[in-house]
Amino acid sequence: MKLRSFLVFMALTVVLCAFAQDFPKYGNPLDIPIYLSATFGEIRPNHIHAGLDIKTQGVEGKKVYAVADGYISRIGVSPYGYGNVLYITHYDGYTSVYAHLQRFSGEIARYVKQYQYKHKKFASQIYPEKGKFPIKKGDLIAYSGNSGGSGGPHLHFEIRHTVSEKPVNPMYFGYRIDDDVRPLIQGVSVYPLGDEAILEGGIKPMYFSVTGGERGRYSLKDRNVVHANGEIAFGICTYDQVGTSTNKNGPYLYELFLDDELAFQVEADSFSYSEPRYVNSLLDYRHYKQKKSSYVRTETDPFNKLQMIEKRNGTVTVAEGDTVNVVFKIADYKGNTSRIGFKLVGVAPVEVERPLRRRSEYFVTADGSMNSDITIEQFNVSMEKGTLFRDEWIQTGQRDEKGCCSRIYRFGTEEMTTFKKFTVRIRPEEKWATDSRMFIANIDKNGKVSSLGGKLKNGCVETTTHTMGEYTIKIDSVAPKISTSNFKDGQNVSALKSLRFKISDDMTGIETYDIYLDDVWVLGQYDAKNALLYYEFDEKMKKGTNNVKVVVTDGVGNKKTLKARVVY
């Protein structure tokens, strides 16, 4: 057993060393020690983490440096996602990415502001000419922050193949982080598949607690044998901690061995930006939605094309009298490994009452050959090939409720998910037929209403979405809200550095936001997660009295205007 563990460790080490020899060595993007709050390839609902999240000691404003020679090929500004972000194309075939920045440095910041004023918009994607911003390794390019969708101060750092734009694990580029902590295993799941399989006399998945952990050795709590018949798949709930960081990160390597043969493997090496939603197929998505714990499944759905899945044979068929040794091995990038094993024992098949299919359920095939277009009264759903990960029985239905512009229609449940967006169309009641304020709303199991957007087309409100569950048409008749945050009407603001406004919309969301001084457009910066719009004083703010106007519209065109005067 010790020899086998040593050989596994050596094999992993050889793999990592082989990768390391193929990549250039890059510099540190910060001048502080690297501690991680997230690792590359973390498997999260709806996406894969594409880089390293480097801690910035809990503050913003740390200097960010270029990791290698190159040129700035792209600059992004957004109230969502990566926020303020820089892309540097290097001469070795890779591009480095620096996201959630507080601000850009020097000439870069001035260039971005000029672009925003020229185009009169805050959110921008800018592609400078190749010679505009040549960069040397170690050049100061920006300051770390918390912009966009960030949940706290840090630097999100990526490396991508320049041509394919595929993100690559940055650890291959020479970064060294002290780490002797093994991944932690929290649970194991077992799934009966198809119409015949049984598991411990039933047909439902089972989730087992684990015990142990000393030297990375775990076992199922209170048992070592699982009884089954038919085709069976497995799952594991696990996370890794990098060195002294206490964050729950994703492991580098997932492996499943069946009778000592490698059957399933996921490796956090590289993936395509067209792939992230495949992780919802890799995850036990239904269990995640119900319990908020993430199990990686070893059954690979037919339409799951995630490249990080290196081996896809993670199921086994057991008959009465069979015994299969099941072993999970989980490793981090440094080769620290944990494992858990148990026996799957085949038992005689038994008759089990299985759920009856209702007439309101449709069997929808992932290849688009059956029920890819479904119409129920004034409701229609259409899916193209590859929208689903696998063939699914999908529940439908309809009901009435006051306050809606149509009936409420069901297509699936919120515990289901898709790879591609599908189209939802609903025909409104006649009295609302031409109202431009209509949108398609999703109603979750708790009755919460959220907007999926939508436009009137051929007499129906139409939108595309990944969200399954209940839909109806609603009217958004309420304009956004605006209020001043750090000043009052008529105030002398010469002691301030900016004018700040709180803006919000409780239904279709903020669509546009503009600030004017004496009817001249000025740059309003939008911090969506804090519902904050602000103008940092520049040459547009004149001495004396300035008339301020803020105009905000929502997703269906409702407009709100705030006017004030300030003295500067």
Give residue-wise pLDDT tens across range 302-339: 999 999 999 999 999 999 999 999 999 999 999 999 99
Q: Is the dihedral of CA 119, 97, 31, 145 positive or negative?
A: positive
Domain shared by 445 and 518, yes or no: no
Contact (Cβ atoms closer than 8 angstroms) between residue 155 and residue 29: yes
Pair (301, 189) in one structural domain: yes
Q: Is residue 354 part of a domain?
A: no
What residues have CB less than 8 Å from 57, skipping those under 6 apart?
Answer: 32
- Structure confidence at residue 436 (pLDDT): 94
Query: Are 338 and 189 part of one and the same domain?
Result: yes
- Give residue 21's pLDDT: 54
55 torsion bin: left (phi>0), alpha (psi -120 to 50), beta (else): beta
Dist CA 535 CA 500 (whole Å): 7
Residues 79, 158 within the same domain: yes
As a whole number of angstroms, the distance between CA 201 and CA 198 comes to 6
DSSP 123-146: SEEE---TTTSEE-TT-EEEEEB-
What CATH number corresponds to the domain at position 518?
A: 2.60.40.1220
Residues 197 and 338 in one domain: yes
Assess whether 336 and 193 both reside in one domain: yes
Q: What is the predicted pLDDT for the residue at 358?
A: 87
Q: Are residues 28 and 123 in the same domain?
A: yes
- The Cα 177–Cα 40 span in angstroms is 14
Quote the pTM value: 0.93
Neighbour tally for 467: CB within 10 Å: 21
Q: To which H or E segment does residue 115 belong?
A: helix 106-119
Is the pLDDT at 5 greater than 50? The verdict is no
Domain count, the chain: 4
Q: Is the pLDDT of residue 59 over 70?
A: yes
Same domain for 263 and 247, yes or no, is yes
Residues 310, 376, single domain; the answer is: no
Range(s) of the domain holding residue 562? 481-567
Query: Is it the case that residue 17 has pLDDT exceeding 60?
Result: no
Residue 270 near residue 59, CB atoms below 8 Å: no
Contact 111, 41 (CB under 8 A): no
32 and 147 inside one domain: yes
What percentage of the chain carries pLDDT values higher than 70? Answer: 96
Residues 209 and 254 grouped into a single domain:
yes
Which CATH number is 388's domain given?
Answer: 2.60.220.30
Q: Which of 346, 371, 391 is the last residue of a domain?
A: 346
Element containing residue 544 per DSSP (H, E): none
| Average pLDDT value for the chain | 95
Query: Higher pLDDT residue, 5 or 442?
Result: 442
**Is 4 inside any structural domain?**
no
Give CA–CA dist 154/139, Å, rounded.
19
Q: What is the CATH number of the domain that holds 77?
A: 2.70.70.10
Residues 317 and 206 in one domain: yes
Gyration radius from the chain CA atoms: 27
Confidence of residue 175 (pLDDT cuts 50, 70, 90): very high
